[in-house]
Amino acid sequence: MSRHPSLLAEVDRLVDKAAALAKVPPDLLEQIRQCNSVYRMSFPVRRDDGTIQTVQAWRAEHSQHKTPTKGGIRYAEMVTEEEVMALAALMTYKCAVVDVPFGGAKGGVRIDPRRHSVGELQRITRRYAFELCRKGFIGPGVDVPAPDYGTGEREMAWIADTYAAVSSDKLDAMACVTGKPVSQGGIRGRKDATGRGVFFGIREACSNVEDMKWCGLSPGLSGKRVVVQGLGNVGFHAARILRDAGAVIVGLSEREGTLCDPRGLDPEAVARFRAETGSLAGFVGAEAMPSDGWLDIDCDILVPAAIENVITEDNVARVKARVIAEGANGPTTAAAHEALLARKVMVLPDVYLNAGGVTVSYFEWLKNLSHVRFGRVQKRYERHVHQRMLKGVATATGAKFGDADIEAMSSGPDEEDLVRSGLEETMIRAYHEIRDAVSRVPGDHDLRTAAMLIAIEKVARCYEELGIFP
């Protein structure tokens, strides 16, 4: 087995490849490549048994070309400073690709959340948030965290509450973090946003006749066989929405094993079983395979939606899919990516496909700053406008609409409708911008380099327009 480069080395390699094609001065490229700020901290936390645990944590702000910076907080036993820096860099490029006006950031806390009680997790989270407040690494206009691997709505609510308690900014305090519960200033549609963004990106690629012809598939999503690796927030919602749209989920995988059924799996049934038993083992009606068995399943679309560096030069030959849809950050190494392109396997890159979460986080941030729920102002007005239009059509044509028909056709959008519409528009627009840039990239159908090229040029343009590099 070869020793794989670190995620930071992989990101630098991607940047170098795209930068060679960008019309950007070398000194500016060096600034774009660098991580602007890293805060490393250690703090004590008392455990339930009375012992003291020293926790190591980080927050990296990769680029302040736009503020605030934005990025999730990861709770993982193996998290490192270098990994946090790499993920912060990916966030910069991700935000640029989908035109979300943030710089990139990321946080990491070196713990295994499964080995801590709720009380311990709360103490760790609040202390981490306090450390960020103390050093000015959090705030609605400074740096806005979000959930990531090992964290969720609960932790974001604790962070928001801690920030509100110690900050003098009481009016906009809830905008200091996104991914909160709706009752605590969150936004409807945020929980499934990343998975839904994965779906929109896959659907758009599958609707492109030229793309499907290149990788040997017929256009359309219906009937496509899909394998999803990772049943966390991203993987579960991506699998569920893809299934509802007509795809067949032939494989689902987690750390303890893989399930395979060519007839199709129900992601919700599998997730319920795992929640009840703690494992995929014993699920009736599907073939049980090893934890890496997802690589060997014959499918059209493979969605790695867990952690980085899972498709490498050592196992890429096992991949049967014609499309790799990167729901996770950095799941495919650079060497594996080149091997896939050589086989005409289309790779939908993480820097694009994983951007649904930060897109809807942007909407949540706007909601918190405006202090108005999306849809509250226009929902009833639009409903009345639509009803008047229907009545006009009925009068002019003699058509008859029942009350149920009028209600269905005239209903105005609520917050979740608007969030999903905005996310869909973002993912579709970004995909076509990447496709337009492919022609500038040597080789064949390299969407990853095209996306990175777009991102680098957007960040560079921002620096130049600010006059930092005249």
The residues that are catalytic are 106
Is residue 250 within 8 Å of residue 261, measured between CB atoms? Answer: yes
* Closest-CA residue to 267 (of 256, 247, 252, 246): 252
Is residue 73 within 8 Å of residue 148, measured between CB atoms? Answer: yes
**Exposure string over 40-68, b if 16+ CB within 10 A, otherwise e:** ebeeebeeeeeeeeebebbbbbbbbbbbb
DSSP symbols for 221-254: STT-EEEEE--SHHHHHHHHHHHHTT-EEEEEEE
DSSP 288: E
Is residue 163 within 8 Å of residue 176, measured between CB atoms? Answer: yes
- Using CA atoms, how far apart are residues 132 and 98, in angstroms rounded to an integer? 27
Per the structure block, which two tokens stand in for 208? 């492109």
Handedness of CA 262, 263, 266, 272 (dihedral sign): negative
By residue count, the chain amounts to 470
The rounded Cα 43 to chain-centroid distance in angstroms is: 29
Could you tell me the CA-to-CA distances from 48 to 44, 122, 180, 198 in Å, in that order? 13, 12, 26, 39
The phi, psi pair for 282, rounded to 5°, reads: 95, 0
